[in-house]
Every structure is written in C-alpha cells, then in structure tokens.
Structure 1
Amino acid sequence: MNSRRNFLQKLGVTALALQLAPIAGWADSLPNDHGADEGPVLRVAIMGLGSYGERVAEAMRSCKKAKLVGVVSGTPSKIKTWQSRYGIPAKNCYNYENFDAIKNNPDIDAVYVITPNGLHHDEVIRVAKAGKHAICEKPMAINAKEGQEMVDACKAAGVKLLVGYRMHFEPKTLEVIRMRKAGEFGKIKFFQGLCGFTIGDPTQWRLNKQLSGGGSMMDIGIYAINGSRYMTGEDPVWVTAQETKTDHIKFKEGIDETIQFQFGFPSGATASCLSTYAMNNLDRFFLDGTDGFAEMQPSTGYGPIMGRTHKGELNQPITTHQTVQMDEMAAIIFEGKQPVVPIDGDEAVKDLKLIDAIYRAAKTGEKVEVKL
C-alpha cells in the first residue's frame, strides 16, 4: 500500500460504489437534513487533485448544500480531465502562480486545500487573503505555531477555517459520543487508539520531511490523537511517548516509523495509542468506563465503520463521510451551525499542540505537560 489513503480505502468492505449508495429513511438522525434543498449552496474549489481530492470530488456529486465548481493544480492535464469530468468552467481553473486572482471570482466561496502537510500553512493563508473560506485537510499544519498563524490569518480576513475531520459526522462515532455524554459508560477510565499501515513507495511525499513535517504521526497518527479527545470528551494534560525505528533507510532523520504515546486527562483517565508506518491491521478504538465500553474496528477508515458497545452492535447506517462533511460545512459557513465536535482551526491547533508534545516527549523521554 502506497499511502494512508489507500490503506483507509481498503479497510472494511469498501468499494466506493458502496460508500456512495443512497441511504433512505434516516434523514431525521443524520447531523444534517439531506432531503433539504433550500438555502445557499457552498461553491467549492479543490486545491490539490490527488487521490483524496478525487474522493472528495466524487462524494460531492451527492451533496445537497455543496458543489464542486473550481480546481487549483500545477498539472494542466489534471485540470483538463477534471473540467471534463465535473463540468468545471475555464474561468474557475487556477494554477499555483495565478491562484491569487481567485479573489476576483465571485462564483467560488471556499477552497479545500488537499495538498501535502508542509504546504497547508502558506496555501491557507493565500486563500484567506483572497477572501475565500478555507477548508484544510488534517493535520492542518506541521506544528502548532504554523497552525495558529493560519487561524489568525483567517480571522483577520473574516473567513472561516474548517478542517477535514470527517469522523466528527460519522453516525456510529456520534452514537458513541452520545452514549458517553449520557453517562452510559459510567466514568471514563481508558482509551486505546491503534492507527497504522505498512507504507510503500519510499519516494512519496509522506516520507519527505519538508513536505510531510514528519512520518506516521503527521499522517495516520492524527486519528488516534483527535479520537482520544472526542471519545473521552476531555483534553490531555500530559503526554509521554516512545519512538521505535527499524528501517533507517526508508525512515530517515525526522521521519518517524512508529511512535507509542500516552495521554493523561484531568479526570484521571488515560490513553495508550500507537501510530505506525510499519504494521498493518491497525484501525481500532477502544473506550472503557466503569459501566460499559465501546469498541470500533475499523474506527476511521473510508469503508464501513464497525463497532459494538456493552449494549450490543452499533447499527447506524453507512454514510459517505465526505458527502456528509461537505454538506455540514456548508451549514456551518452559511447557517452558523455548531457540530457535535468542532471542526474549526482552533480544534486543529489543539491536535497540533499534542503532536508537538508527542515529538518532544519521544525525543527527551520525559513527561510533557500540555495546556490546550
């Protein structure tokens, strides 16, 4: 497998056609009423036309409140292909040299940045300066300092900054969160998050420090970090971490292969997590409380999320994560809707502060206190 996205795509029984299948009779329990055609439509340009950009574009075909209307790419052939496939007019197509002219285009409301991590900072700030709402893939930046600069730039420009936390709208995930808030697990004591796959092509950008900002922690690890927070309902106050590297050729200096990390929460609950580029079959969340538990496996993949609690199997319907995400983002931008779990830049900066602390703890071997 060459990437996290291939890994996630192949988890579960995951043909894209299955994911895009219509879901009937469940509108009332979705975070957003997908039967509603009223209100403005969020007109989106995608920046970065790689595999995940394609997945988002395909999912947006089913959106009711968001529409793909533009592209930004440094590859002319990709632009031409996308124009044909999605009916994108030439006036809404940009490259990285002329992109700033998007500020004069009234037919684009937001730009979804789906490029390597190391490029997010500058690109989101360019989006903000152009007066467009910014949507950014996670992790939002390569460290908390850059992330905060992105948040500040968007606030100064008066535009929204949202991050692609698609799991914040996933039905089984939301059911576990609901149960936890209702006290059905009792006092939360422990969370475990296992995220990993065996990475392939050694020349890909994810193994390039300048583009990725790190290794597995800057890729698959974000799921365990963010998941530990929404599953427990708390933010960590301390971090410990240990790094293991077995292949120093593929995983050069600054590119982590495997990191185990632990969190401590104000309530006394703890978390034990793993992020790796060297092991497959790792996509599992486990939450334990005094009165019950929740287990999700797969927990974050593109394919059907599966899970059970002490009360039985989770049977919420399968959704196309990116379709729901984009419709929800439209509601957040146009209607001021508040999601169950935030997806804004401030939420993303918290995860980046934890990534910074994990790297520091792994390097020093010390417990690192954090304040989010």
Structure 2
Amino acid sequence: MQPTSLSRRNFLAGLGASALALPALTDVFGNPIQSDSPNQGRKLGIALVGLGYYSKNLLAPALQQTQNCRLAGIVTGTPSKVEEWKQKYNIPQANVYDYKTFDRIADNKDIDVVYVVLPNSMHEEFVVRAAQAGKHVICEKPMAITPKACQNMIDACKKANKQLAIGYRLHYEPFTKEVMRLGQEKVFGPVKFVESSDGFRSGDPNQWRLKKSMAGGGPLMDVGIYAIQGARYVTGEEPISVTAQFAPKTDPQKFKDVEEAMFWQFQFPSGAMSNSTTSYAAGVERLYASCEKGWFELAPAFGYGPLKGRTSKGPIEQPVVNHQAAHMDGVCKDLLDGKNLPDHITGEEGLRDVKLLEAIYQAAETGRKIQLKS
C-alpha cells in the first residue's frame, strides 16, 4: 500500500498542489486554461443534497466564507424547509429540487458540484445520479455502507468523466496536517503506538443513525471512521491486520439495531500498533502517537474545532480555520484549476475506509484476527 503513503506525503509537501493536471486544457466551464493559470475569481456553484443538521449548521454557513465556491442550490425531501433556505441564502426557485426532480439538475448551469449530505444508505444512489447529470460530486463519509456500493460510485463518476471527493474535511485542517507531518516524516522517530478514538453520547433514540438499514451500523460507521483515518494518516501506512471487540450494551432497547460501542486494534507493516474506541454512550476524542524519541497528540482531535495539540517538546501552534470552508475550497480550487483531485480525498480513499469498516465488524463478530489485503 506504499502508493497511498506516498500520495499523503506529496499532499503534505504541496498542500494539494501536487495533483496532476487533466489532459484537456479546459476548466469546468469549458474555457481554455493553462495548468498554472488563476481561476480569475470564479466560484463553483454547489447544491446541497439533504438539509439536515450538517448542511444547515455547518456547510451552508461555511459556504458564505469560501473563495472558490458558493451555495447555488438545494435538494430536499422536506418542502417546509424550502422557503427558509431560499430567503436566507437568496436561492432562486429554479435551483430548488426534491428527490424526484433531482435529475433535472443536469440542465442547470448554475450548479457545478453536488454535495451529498444524506443518510449513509442513500449515498450511492445520489452520487450515481449526480454523476449521470454531469456534475462533480462531494459525498459525506462514510462513502457508503458496502465496498460494492463505493465501487459503483467510483465507476459512475469515471464513466461520466466527473470527479468524486469524499468529505474528509480534516485533510485540509492545519493541526491535522501537522500531525500527519510529524508522524510520516518521523520527526520524533518512527511511530510505535497510536491511540485514535472518537465517540459521543447519542441523543434521539429514533434518529436514522441508530437504524442499521440507513446507517450500516452504529458509531463505527459514524465517528469511528475518524479514528480509522487518524491511525492511517499518522503512520502513513495501511494496516495489515485487525482484531476487534463489541462493548456490552448498557441500553439494549436503544441499541437494538446497532452496536453501542466498539474497540479495535490495527497492526501496521512497520510494526506500529494502534488501539481505538468508538461509542454512542460516552465521549472520547483523542489522537495520540508514541514514537521512538517522543510523542504528540491532538485533543480534541476530530470535532469541528478548534482542535488543540501538543508534543513532548511543547504545544502545537497552528491557525484555526473553518473546517468545512477549507475542505470545500480545497476541492473546488483543484476543479477550477483543471486538476485531478489528490488521492487522499477521492472515492478510492473512501473505499479503503469502508473495506476497513467491514473488516473490523468481521473481526468483532468472529473473534478472529483478520488479515487485511493490500
């Protein structure tokens, strides 16, 4: 899995600028460009699909701070939300869709990118439909609930010659990029052990996240993916084996359909080990790495910020940014510049994580160590 590690190092060195230029020297509007030409102040129009908490409270406000993109349209299954969004963000009726009329977005030149912010089980359908409508796509994580669905999404975007990004906002966040650098460049020597955990107390017992048919699982399919990512991007390696355990359910009725909490352990090719926890019953948010000559950590490590970090030599000092704005700006800058998205943000990266999610469940269900394929 060395190419993945190398792509992450290239990302750290060039902050995303190392992506390859597309063969066709045109931007997303079809205008001739040079690979190093500025985007001349253009902003890509983004349509949000799904107007739940994340869209309402984080993505839409962030799109008021972005330099390379803007909120251009909405797609919702709840008609009562439409007027509020139209008035607040000056969205014309022509850029409002529901799930049945969504495919008409193909004829809308105001919208260049579709951001899918729906329950996990719906990601595949709307990513495929967005690609078929001729739009670039950003999809929230986890990418889907099965590897097959992920591959279908990748294939649909490639067939349509459109790019697919996954919502890995932390890859554009300064504290996270710094711990990537510390680990992968072995600033404190080789990484020996990683603790990477994320969990919180879930609220509404009727929420879709507690329904396996919609979420694919419990906290592992939600915030657990941050812990998986943390272990991978600190070491710069792909795990070669995993063991895992389900925690006892303290509220069997609430968690009748999904796990309440889980633990898992990765082994990496270098000999490094990681231990992780995810939970819907208790809060935890930490990324810690013990190295040959020191240590570093983020705590909080995965939330919406501000993140905080320190090392065995002192505090980590980095600028505080809006995570969602940095993520969308980074993706859209590459699109505007006519570049391929860097590997660390693509559907292939999302597929890697979903395969690991599947392996963790398998390890917990069987009680066996699962050997992971490269």
TM-score class, shorter-chain normalisation, is 0.7 to 0.9
What's the CA shift for 1:39?
4.5
Residue 187 of structure 1 corresponds to 190
The count of corresponding residues between Structure 1 and Structure 2 is 339
Residue 249 of structure 1 corresponds to 253
One-letter amino acid of the structure 2 residue matched with residue 269 of structure 1: A
Name the CA distance, whole Å, in 1 between partners of 2:140 and 2:89.
21
Indicate how the Cα distance of structure 1 residues 337 and 190 shifts in structure 2: closer, same or farther if over 3 A, else same. Answer: farther
Name the CA distance, whole Å, in 1 between partners of 2:179 and 2:50.
33
Residue 343 of structure 1 corresponds to 345
Residue 99 of structure 1 corresponds to 102
Name the CA distance, whole Å, in 2 between partners of 1:361 and 1:68.
42
Name the CA distance, whole Å, in 2 between partners of 1:234 and 1:321.
24
- Does residue 174 of structure 2 align to residue 171 of structure 1? yes
Name the CA distance, whole Å, in 1 between partners of 2:266 and 2:337.
35
One-letter amino acid of the structure 1 residue matched with residue 97 of structure 2: Y
Name the CA distance, whole Å, in 1 between partners of 2:309 and 2:104.
46
Residue 22 of structure 2 corresponds to none
Residue 52 of structure 1 corresponds to 54
Residue 221 of structure 1 corresponds to 224
Name the CA distance, whole Å, in 2 between partners of 1:232 and 1:182.
9
Among 67, 72, 76, the alignment partner of 2:70 is 67
Percent same amino acid among aligned pairs? 46
What's the CA shift for 1:40?
3.1
Task: Report if the CA contact (8 A) 2:39-2:337 is conserved.
Answer: no
Among 133, 138, 151, the alignment partner of 1:135 is 138
Residue 291 of structure 2 corresponds to 289
Task: Report if the CA contact (8 A) 2:141-2:166 is conserved.
Answer: yes
- Does residue 357 of structure 2 align to residue 355 of structure 1? yes
CA deviation map 1:65-92 (0-9, x unaligned): 0111000001112121111111111111
One-letter amino acid of the structure 2 residue matched with residue 235 of structure 1: E
Among 241, 246, 249, the alignment partner of 1:238 is 241
- Does residue 139 of structure 2 align to residue 153 of structure 1? no
What's the CA shift for 1:336?
5.0
Among 332, 335, 350, the alignment partner of 2:334 is 332
Task: Report if the CA contact (8 A) 1:230-1:341 is conserved.
Answer: no
Name the CA distance, whole Å, in 2 between partners of 1:182 and 1:120.
35
TM-score by length of 1: 0.88
What's the CA shift for 1:183?
2.4
Residue 19 of structure 1 corresponds to none
Indicate how the Cα distance of structure 1 residues 300 and 337 shifts in structure 2: closer, same or farther if over 3 A, else same. Answer: farther
Residue 370 of structure 2 corresponds to 368
Query: RMSD of the TM alignment (CA)?
Result: 1.7
What's the CA shift for 1:312?
1.1
Gaps of 5+ in 1: 1-28
CA deviation map 1:137-181 (0-9, x unaligned): 010101212111111111111111101101101101111222233
Indicate how the Cα distance of structure 1 residues 340 and 104 shifts in structure 2: closer, same or farther if over 3 A, else same. Answer: closer
Residue 267 of structure 2 corresponds to 264
One-letter amino acid of the structure 2 residue matched with residue 318 of structure 1: V
Residue 38 of structure 1 corresponds to 40
Name the CA distance, whole Å, in 1 between partners of 2:343 and 2:322.
18
Task: Report if the CA contact (8 A) 1:143-1:355 is conserved.
Answer: no
Indicate how the Cα distance of structure 1 residues 81 and 346 shifts in structure 2: closer, same or farther if over 3 A, else same. Answer: same
